Structure 1
Amino acid sequence: MITVSIMLATLIQTLDSTIANVALPHMQGTLSASQDEITWVLTSYIVAAAIATPLTGWLSDRLSVKRLLAFAIGGFTVASALCGLSETLTQIVASRLLQGIFGASLVPLSQSILLDINPREKQGQAMAVWGMGVMVGPILGPTLGGWLTDSYNWRWVFFINVPIGAFALFGVLTFLPSRPAKHDAKFDAFGFATLSLAIGALQAMLDRGEQLDWFGSLEIRIEALLSVLAFAFFLVHTATAGAKSFFRYELLKDRNFATGTCFIFVIGAVMYATRALLPPMLQNLMNYPVATTGLVTAPSGAGTMVAMLFAGRLLKRVDARVLLLAGFLISAFALWQMMQYTIVLSASDIVWPGVIQGFGLGLVFVPLSALTFSTLTPGLRADGTATYSLARNIGSSIGISIVQTLVTRNTQIAHAGLAANVTVFNPAIRPMLQDGASLNMAVLDQAINQQASMIAYLNDFKLMFVATLLVLPLILLIRPAKVVPGAIAHAAMD
């Protein structure tokens, strides 16, 4: 019953990482938001979770694991209800921030509890169950979100969390045993505050830069300055505070960990950015129904799950670095396929590149985690997993912001380039211009807008394709390490 309860809590957290994606175009109309503004619904959640995740260890010591988990589930459930009740963009972004803050500790706590309640010989099986549960959320997210939005409305993608959260909270309060809290746990408030300010200011700059003409705006310049100064203070504090620091700088001395963290940053950016791009592209440009959008984007998660099952077994026979290279090359191939998209696409044209990309990313996850943590000392493992998760979340947030900004900007640039060909000297256009009918002009303008948007999306896929290839040389920096199977399973799930 403990396992069921904490897996339900994990499910609602992972579900919310993808369930809102297919509903974004519907939210955009209801909340009167622009295309780049509506992505705040995704990035606010990811940033809040990224900032709050490192607090999990300290809070569990201060409050006890049971209290913190109950508090996190209850807060996440209430925040989900507030998201569904939101009437403005400001309200839903604030509610998503609360969701991210409360949900940040759900996944690490669920993993920790499963390890605690199972004997050592069954911990591998427990982590496999946990890993499958973590993957169910992103797989179900697009399909469930599409069905709920199509059958009811977008608010139900948040309301669905309320009954699940209530069952999870009841199970935790009833079956999870209490343990005394450690009231003497110390917390580096200055380090946490400076890192949070740096991340928050950077995200605000990326989200609002396109609207405010970037560094032509005083607000953007202030946010950029705040981010740089806060991060500089964080670095100096980390270097001088020693063991009392919020971040253990000894982690960076481990070559495998430093390289693996760079990799997971890029993976976070590419994986979540792709999932954020596809639903608006399919619904706005190709008129896909929201339910169909969910169905054709969900198989990428299935590809990831299948690859993770294979990767765990292959690690015993194949060099983990070879698996890492293969996974990145497969992911790059999928992005190359996406670069060939046109306005007219069948369902299979969307499904197969998604499955291939998901398979490639799944092939990367397990060996990357194993290599990243294989050379860390046990004393640094807890801090390493928090930093690793933080890098993935920040990469996801920055990746989504960048690709959405580029879609908006490149659409305008492509529109100007295409519209320059609409002249009386163009034989394909001359009859429409000579006729002068307003209907013809409207159809022509719609076609130009559609093509310009498609060009912008293709440019984003090309950017992610290049970024995936550029990190490949970092594999040469990773040292092979012999890791026992139990440690591989533990590191992979971390």
Structure 2
Amino acid sequence: MTAATTAANPESAHRGFITASVMLATIMQALDTTIANVALPHMQGTMGATQDQISWVLTSYIVAAAIFMPLTGFLTARWGRKRIFMWAVVGFTMASMLCGAAQSLNQIVLFRLLQGVFGASLVPLSQAVLLDTYPRERHGSAMAMWGVGVMVGPILGPSLGGWLTEYYNWRWVFYINLPFGLLAWFGLAAFVHETPIDRSRRFDLLGFGLLSLSIGALQMMLDRGESLDWFASPEVITEAILAGMALYLFIAHMFTHEHPFIEPGLFKDRNFSVGLLFIFIVGVILLATMALLPPFMQNLMGYPVIDVGYLLAPRGVGTMIAMMAVGKLSGKVDVRHMILLGLMLTSLSLWEMTLFNTDINGWDIVRTGITQGLGLGFIFVPLSTITFATLAPRYRNEGTALFSLMRNLGSSIGISAVI
């Protein structure tokens, strides 16, 4: 690397430290999407809560994160990406400590809501930082490293959560975030440079309100629909109507307002628009099967929670292997061919899972898990790369937020479809 190159991009001299810092933030947030699930029965006993009440520990986090994720683009443009990133890490870590120390159901629901608010921007900002830190020809490798945290975190969450709950107690599923948060904060403070700040950018309050109402109502419907018998419930019907009407009004507002909350120019990029659709599908597959297997293994096959974690962990290993392979193959193999390979492997694993019954053994679960992990790894990284390949750099903060939002919405719909 020449001195001129380094001067043009001062972050390039510290790529390793920057990558490690944003990876820690990514893993911290990604783990929390699933790590608390296996601890819910233990929380329920401590708090003296009913099944419906304890579910708000998950609902509050999911809804808050979904609502505030699209706000990432505006916040970073108005106050700077580094500043927002560091505040998000601090807020998420402190909220995690408060969750671990909570003494009542109301407290833990409130602190989980705060976790969602601060955690909403961690993954999209991590992706945006890496895209700006690495040159275009190395975006594939950068997305491979970032993808390990995004994809493996939710997969390993139940395993780690089960182990912590079994050998310590449920509070440690939140305390585990402290070392991740501290290391990530110091790394960001030392090595990441601030982006230009646009104080003139106006906040589209109506647009944000409509989008928040639509996303919030949809997430509430998906999260509570099964327990309320779906459209037999007036609450679910109301939430569905609110979500649909608010989305329609938001889209109409976006294309007619002078300074909309989300720039319509984002969707003129075909790679980006198609990428959003595909990552939505990946989200459905990723967490739908993850949500179905643990209760199947525990309730019907009689596996203890710690064994369930061990049998599901190889799925994450398969994902890591595929992502590392993609990092090496980037620039040498057409990304479309890698996505096709990933789709074939994922389809094979899903077909094999349709044959599951109570007579299968642990090896069947491990084998299909590795196959699906490999498939998702070969899809996610090339998809992340090609989605942002032609998107203008000025749209990256907003684009990465929408990319993460679509993955999360897909995950919510996938879970609702199978549970």
Tell me the TM-score normalised to structure 1 length.
0.72
Q: Residue in 1 aligned with 2:177?
A: 161
| Correspondence for 2:110 | 94
Distance, in Å, in 1 between the alignment partners of 2:31 and 2:202 is 33
Is 2:161 the counterpart of 1:145?
yes
Task: Say whether residues 1:263 and 2:278 are aligned partners.
Answer: yes
26 and 101 in structure 1: CA distance in 2 versus 1, 3 angstrom threshold:
same
Per the alignment, do residues 336 and 90 of structure 1 end up closer, same or farther by CA in structure 2, a change over 3 Å counting? farther
- 1:75-90 to 2 correspondences below 5 Å: 75-86=91-102, 90=106
Residues 161 and 173 in structure 2, CA contact (< 8 A), matched pair in contact too: yes
1:21 and 1:275 in contact (8 A); partners too? no
Distance 1:219 1:139, change over 3 A: closer
Instruction: Note the C-alpha offset of 1:347.
Output: 2.0
Is the CA contact 1:22–1:294 (under 8 Å) kept in the aligned structure 2?
A: no
With 215-224 and 156-165 compared, the bigger mean Cα shift is at 215-224
Displacement of 1:316 after TM fit?
A: 4.4
Partner Cα distance (1:390, 1:202) in 2: 13
Q: Does 1:202 align with 2:228?
A: no
- What is the aligned partner in structure 1 of residue 249 from structure 2? 233
**What displacement does 1:12 show?**
1.2
The structure showing larger relative contact order (alpha-carbon pairs under 8 Å, at least 6 residues apart) is 2
2-side partners of 1:11 and 1:371: how far apart?
A: 23
The offset of 1:268, in angstroms, is 0.4
In the TM superposition, residue 174 of structure 1 has moved relative to its aligned partner by 5.8
Alignment match of 1:289 (pick from 285, 304, 328): 304
- Say if 1:187 and 1:246, in contact at 8 Å, map to a contact too: yes
1: CA distance, partners of 2:40 / 2:293: 11
- Relative to structure 1, is the Cα distance of residues 93 and 397 closer, same or farther in structure 2, using a 3 angstrom cutoff? farther
Instruction: Give 1:221 deviation, angstroms.
Output: 2.9
| Cα drift, residue 217 of structure 1 | 3.3
Normalised TM-score (structure 2): 0.83
Distance, in Å, in 1 between the alignment partners of 2:266 and 2:80 is 27
- Give, in whole Å, the separation in 2 of the partners of 1:261 and 1:399: 16
Partner residue in 2 for 1:220 = 236
Cα deviation, 1:340-389, whole Å, max 9, x if unaligned, reads: 22224432121111111111111111332344334545554544333222
Among candidates 173, 190, 193, match of residue 206 of structure 2: 190
1:17 pairs with 2:33: yes
Answer yes or no: is the 8 Å Cα contact 2:144–2:326 preserved in 1. Answer: no
**Corresponding residue for 1:276?**
291
User: Within 5 A, what are the aligned runs for 1:305-320?
Assistant: 305-314=320-329, 316=331, 318-320=333-335
Q: How far does residue 70 in structure 1 lie from its aligned partner after superposition? A: 2.5
- 1:250-399 mapped onto 2 (5 Å cutoff): 250-314=265-329, 316=331, 318-399=333-414
How far apart are 1:197 and its partner, in Å?
0.5
Name the amino acid aligned to 2:157. G
For 1:200, give the aligned amino acid: G
Counterpart residue identity of residue 305, structure 2 = V
- Tell me: CA distance 1:124–1:278, structure 2 relative to 1, closer, same or farther (3 Å): closer
**Residue type matched to 1:219 in 2?**
E
SS at match of 2:170: coil
Instruction: State the 1:195 CA deviation.
Output: 0.7
- Tell me, in whole angstroms, the C-alpha distance in 1 between the residues paired with 2:326 and 2:19: 25
Using the TM superposition, give the Cα deviation of residue 38 of structure 1 relative to its aligned residue in structure 2, in angstroms.
5.5
* Alignment-derived partner of residue 421 in structure 1: none
Alpha-carbon separation, structure 1, partners of 2:222 and 2:29:
25
Q: By how many angstroms is 1:401 displaced?
A: 2.6
Decide whether aligned partners of structure 1 residues 183 and 352 sit closer, same or farther in structure 2, where only a CA change above 3 A counts: same
Q: In the superposition, relative to structure 1, how do residues 394 and 343 fare at CA in structure 2: closer, same or farther (>3 Å)?
A: same
User: What is the CA RMSD across the aligned residues, in angstroms?
Assistant: 3.1
Preserved contact between residue 50 and residue 393 of structure 1 (Cα < 8 Å) = yes
Q: Is residue 49–residue 101 contact of structure 1 (8 Å, CA) maintained in 2?
A: yes
Q: Does the 8 Å CA contact 2:141/2:330 hold for their aligned counterparts?
A: no
Rounded Cα–Cα distance in structure 2 between residues aligned with 1:207 and 1:357? 25
1:476 alignment partner in structure 2:
none
Question: What are the Cα deviations for residues 167-220 of structure 1, in whole angstroms up to 9, with x where unaligned?
Answer: 433454566566775432322221111111001111212223333343443323
Distance 1:361 1:119, change over 3 A: closer
**Which range is displaced more, 9-18 or 351-360?**
9-18
Q: Which has the larger radius of gyration?
A: 1
Q: Distance in 2 between matches of 1:120 and 1:315?
A: 11
1:321–1:109 distance in 2 versus 1, CA, 3 Å: closer
Mapped partners of 1:33, 1:277: distance in 2: 24
Give the drift of 1:330: 1.6
Q: Flag the 1:347–1:197 CA change in 2: closer, same or farther, 3 A.
A: same
Q: Give, in whole Å, the separation in 2 of the partners of 1:101 and 1:326.
A: 36
Indicate how the Cα distance of structure 1 residues 376 and 179 shifts in structure 2: closer, same or farther if over 3 A, else same.
closer
